[in-house]
């Protein structure tokens, strides 16, 4: 895993890829990733190797939890056993930078210029940069949308374009359940995830922490209104508990009418339920008010280069090709539904094309149109602590252990303050 310069004569500028040694990268690099993300990276190798034929890229699919646990352990061991490139979820990114600020390379020293940074929306870079250090490059994003079964909605006489608010969503859910025996409007992983709370609070400009990461905001009015609305949906019977696997099973079995997720869920539905082509559609997430915001982000990852890599230049060449070129980003979108963060890729002609699986709806135009409207949200180094506290609080609130949502989130805020030492915002 060595990087060998072929001499000054081989140096040059590669258009669109930053200042890199042309035809100089060689050797072998290894990447840790998971599931569809790993498959998506593999789909870019043909294009990458046309530009860099002397670089062999090994992509290891370890699973999400394994990548997180093994990479944190590797950082704690001073970089020992880490691969050249690590896939990092934005949601967990700040855990790495705060615990191990020297574990990953500053991409600015490898060619990540201000011009390249400007190609990505601010909300994707917020958690990946600290001061003048860029620890990772944005990969996919997760603009939230409602994925829905056209046939179930049509049978109930529900036009998804009339669903502007969450109250509209509740009313539609009741009609759909009544018209379609055994079908629930939607599902949420209430036992192990904060997904619904994070999606709607992000839409409403709220979150666990302030945008600067210096205070706790989970009990602010928009967050309280969000939790109230989620419980209202649950009490109305339009949303039931289900984990990731159970949702996929319900999709295939025709037991659910809608799923609220980041745009990357398109690939999940298309690949796990191919026989349902033409029956699914997409519409914008509802809001708390008729004229309220309808854009949020859930999920999305980045690629970071370990400081222990012996081949940083080749690693950077791959990262910048896979994440910084329209060619690679659109390849991943076509193959596996990974939504680009790269703003120029959003303008690719493919985005405006009708998609056969989705009954020829140009779903990517609809989903990606919300990207510029997404409010940045900070995970901070305390994301794991805050998330666990919220999930436990949510369970207690649903069980009636708090008089109202404000009391529940005030308690969560106090617990987060005790765990982190951060102040609760006024």
The Cα–Cα gap between 312 and 119 comes to 22
Whether 1 shows a pLDDT value over 90: the answer reads: no
Residues 276 and 306 in one domain: no
Residues 199 and 287 in one domain: yes
The Cα–Cα gap between 305 and 316 comes to 7
**Per-residue pLDDT tens for 305-340?**
999 999 999 999 999 999 999 999 999 999 888 889
**pLDDT given at position 299:** 83
Residues 288 and 373 in one domain: yes
Work out the percent of the chain whose per-residue pLDDT is above 70: 94
**pLDDT given at position 352:** 93
Whether 11 shows a pLDDT value over 60: the answer reads: no
Interval 270-278 mean pLDDT: 93
Whether 2 shows a pLDDT value over 70: the answer reads: no
Query: Domains in the chain: how many in total?
Result: 2
**pLDDT given at position 300:** 86
Residues 156 and 268 in one domain: yes
Has residue 354 been placed in a domain?
no
Compute the mean pLDDT over every residue in the chain, rounded to the nearest whole number. 91
Residues 396 and 276 in one domain: yes
Domain end (from 319, 347, 375):
347
The model carries a pTM of 0.85
Q: Give the rounded distance of the alpha carbon of 262 from its chain centre.
A: 6
Q: Give the rounded distance of the alpha carbon of 398 from its chain centre.
A: 26
Higher pLDDT, 285 or 64: 285
Q: Which residue blocks in 126-184 are alpha helix, DSSP H? A: 150-155, 166-179
Please count the other Cβ atoms lying within 10 Å of the Cβ belonging to residue 309: 23
**pLDDT given at position 12:** 37
Has residue 412 been placed in a domain?
yes
Q: Virtual CA dihedral for 159, 161, 162, 166, nearest 10 degrees?
A: 110
Work out the percent of the chain whose per-residue pLDDT is above 90: 79
**Per-residue pLDDT tens for 31-52?**
999 988 999 999 999 999 999 9
Interval 293-298 mean pLDDT: 94
The Cα–Cα gap between 219 and 206 comes to 9
Residues 54 and 108 in one domain: yes
Has residue 96 been placed in a domain?
yes
Q: Is 361 helix (H, G, I), strand (E, B) or coil?
A: strand
Interval 49-65 mean pLDDT: 94
Residues 101 and 148 in one domain: no
Has residue 389 been placed in a domain?
yes
Q: In what order do the strands lie in the sheet with 144-149?
A: 258-262, 144-149, 280-284
Whether 362 shows a pLDDT value over 50: the answer reads: yes
**pLDDT given at position 15:** 37
**Per-residue pLDDT tens for 97-156?**
999 999 999 999 999 999 999 999 888 888 899 999 999 999 998 999 999 999 999 999
Q: Which residue blocks in 1-142 are alpha helix, DSSP H? A: 35-43, 45-51, 64-76, 90-99, 114-117, 122-125
**pLDDT given at position 29:** 97
Has residue 352 been placed in a domain?
no
**Per-residue pLDDT tens for 201-231?**
999 999 999 988 899 999 999 999 999 999 9
**pLDDT given at position 271:** 87
Residues 191 and 336 in one domain: no
Has residue 426 been placed in a domain?
no
Rg (CA), the chain: 22
CATH number at residue 72: 3.40.190.10
DSSP symbols for 100-128: -TTSB--GGGTT--HHHHTTS-HHHHTTT
Residues 329 and 390 in one domain: no
Domain end (from 347, 378, 410):
347
Whether 63 shows a pLDDT value over 80: the answer reads: yes
Nearest to 231 by CA among 115, 380, 343, 399: 399
Band of residue 387 on the pLDDT scale cut at 50, 70, 90: very high
Residues 175 and 287 in one domain: yes
Q: Is the dihedral of CA 10, 11, 14, 20 positive or negative?
A: positive
**Per-residue pLDDT tens for 389-411?**
999 999 999 999 999 999 999 99
**Per-residue pLDDT tens for 228-255?**
999 999 999 999 999 999 999 999 999 9
Residue 165, domain extent: 144-296+361-420
**pLDDT given at position 18:** 42
Beta bridge pairs of residue 262: 144
**pLDDT given at position 383:** 87
Residues 335 and 379 in one domain: no
**pLDDT given at position 411:** 98
Has residue 425 been placed in a domain?
no
Residues 207 and 325 in one domain: no
């Amino acid at each position: 895993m060595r990087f060998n310069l072929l001499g000054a004569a081989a140096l040059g500028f590669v258009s669109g890829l930053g200042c890199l040694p042309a035809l100089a990268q060689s050797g072998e690099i290894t990447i840790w990733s998971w599931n569809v993300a790993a498959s998506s990276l593999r789909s870019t190798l043909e294009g990458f190797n046309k530009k860099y034929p002397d670089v062999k890229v090994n992509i290891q699919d370890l699973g999400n939890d394994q990548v997180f646990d093994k990479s944190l352990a590797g950082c704690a061991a001073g970089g020992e056993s880490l691969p050249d490139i690590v896939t990092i979820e934005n949601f967990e990114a700040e855990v790495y930078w705060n615990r191990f600020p020297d574990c990953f390379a500053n991409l600015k020293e490898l060619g990540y210029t201000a011009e390249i940074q400007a190609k990505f929306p601010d909300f994707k870079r917020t958690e990946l940069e600290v001061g003048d250090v860029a620890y990772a490059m944005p990969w996919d994003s997760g603009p939230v949308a409602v994925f829905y079964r056209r046939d179930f909605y049509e049978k109930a006489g529900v036009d998804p374009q009339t669903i502007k608010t969450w109250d509209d969503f509740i009313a539609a859910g009741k009609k759909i359940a009544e018209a379609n025996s055994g079908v629930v409007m939607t599902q949420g992983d209430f036992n192990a995830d904060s997904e619904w709370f994070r999606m709607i609070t992000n839409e409403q400009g709220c979150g666990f922490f302030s945008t600067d990461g210096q205070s706790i905001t989970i009990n602010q009015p928009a967050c309280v209104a969000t939790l109230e609305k989620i419980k209202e949906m649950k009490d109305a019977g339009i949303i039931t508990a289900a984990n990731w696997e159970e949702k996929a099973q319900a999709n295939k079995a025709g037991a659910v009418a809608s799923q609220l997720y980041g745009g990357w869920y398109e690939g999940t539905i298309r690949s796990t339920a191919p026989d349902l082509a033409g029956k699914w559609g997409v519409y914008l997430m509802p809001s708390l008010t008729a004229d309220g915001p309808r854009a949020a982000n859930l999920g999305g990852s980045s690629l970071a280069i370990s400081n222990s890599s012996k081949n940083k230049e080749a690693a950077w060449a791959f990262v910048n090709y896979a994440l910084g070129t329209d060619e690679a980003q659109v390849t991943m979108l076509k193959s596996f539904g990974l939504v680009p963060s790269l703003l120029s890729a959003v303008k690719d002609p493919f985005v405006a094309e009708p998609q056969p699986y989705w009954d020829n709806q140009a779903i990517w135009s609809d989903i990606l149109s919300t990207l510029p409207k997404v409010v940045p949200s900070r995970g901070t180094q305390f994301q794991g602590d805050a998330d666990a506290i919220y999930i436990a609080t949510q369970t207690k609130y649903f069980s009636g252990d708090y008089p109202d949502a404000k009391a529940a989130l005030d308690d969560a805020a106090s617990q987060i303050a005790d765990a982190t030492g951060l102040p609760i915002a006024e």
